[in-house]
């Protein structure tokens, strides 16, 4: 099946710094990618829809200035957590749908802000 690669898988950063997470579709083009956040033992919470060549669409309650999304090409979307704080510590997962059908997910990124 199609592969979505997410990097890094784990990152520890200091409070106040920014962290960038990359999501790549390796063998298909994705005009739309999705970013999710997952709290321990909870299901996925959609944060935003990333659109190639245009602004991302954020879900209610998600700060767009804090979670910057850039979808510069058909195979790459990035999520930057700016001025990270301990409460931003979480598991972040990206997803892309191949040919508007099956959805594939990245391996996830465990962010810890200390």
Enumerate binding residues for another protein (CB under 8 A). Answer: 1, 6, 31-32, 34, 42-44, 46, 49, 91, 93, 95, 97, 100-108, 110
- The answer to whether residues 114 and 12 touch, using CB atoms and an 8 Å cutoff, is yes
The count of residues in the chain is: 114
Q: Which is nearer to another protein, 2 or 13 (CB)?
A: 2
3-state SS of 72-85 is EECCEEEEEECCCC
Q: Which is nearer to another protein, 32 or 70 (CB)?
A: 32
Handedness of CA 106, 77, 69, 51 (dihedral sign): negative
Taking the complex as a whole, how short is the minimal distance between the CB of residue 83 and another protein, in angstroms? Answer: 26
Taking the complex as a whole, how short is the minimal distance between the CB of residue 19 and another protein, in angstroms? Answer: 18
Taking the complex as a whole, how short is the minimal distance between the CB of residue 107 and another protein, in angstroms? Answer: 4
């Amino acid at each position: 099946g199609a592969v979505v690669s997410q990097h890094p898988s784990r990152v520890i950063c200091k409070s106040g710094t920014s962290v960038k997470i990359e999501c790549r579709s390796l063998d298909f083009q994705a005009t739309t990618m999705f970013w999710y956040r997952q709290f321990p033992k909870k299901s996925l919470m959609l944060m935003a829809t990333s659109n190639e060549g245009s602004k991302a669409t954020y879900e209610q309650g998600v700060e767009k200035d804090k979670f910057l999304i850039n979808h510069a090409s058909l195979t790459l979307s990035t999520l930057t957590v700016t001025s990270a704080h301990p409460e931003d510590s979480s598991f972040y997962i990206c997803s892309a749908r191949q040919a508007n059908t099956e959805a594939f997910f990245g391996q996830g990124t465990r962010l810890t802000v200390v």
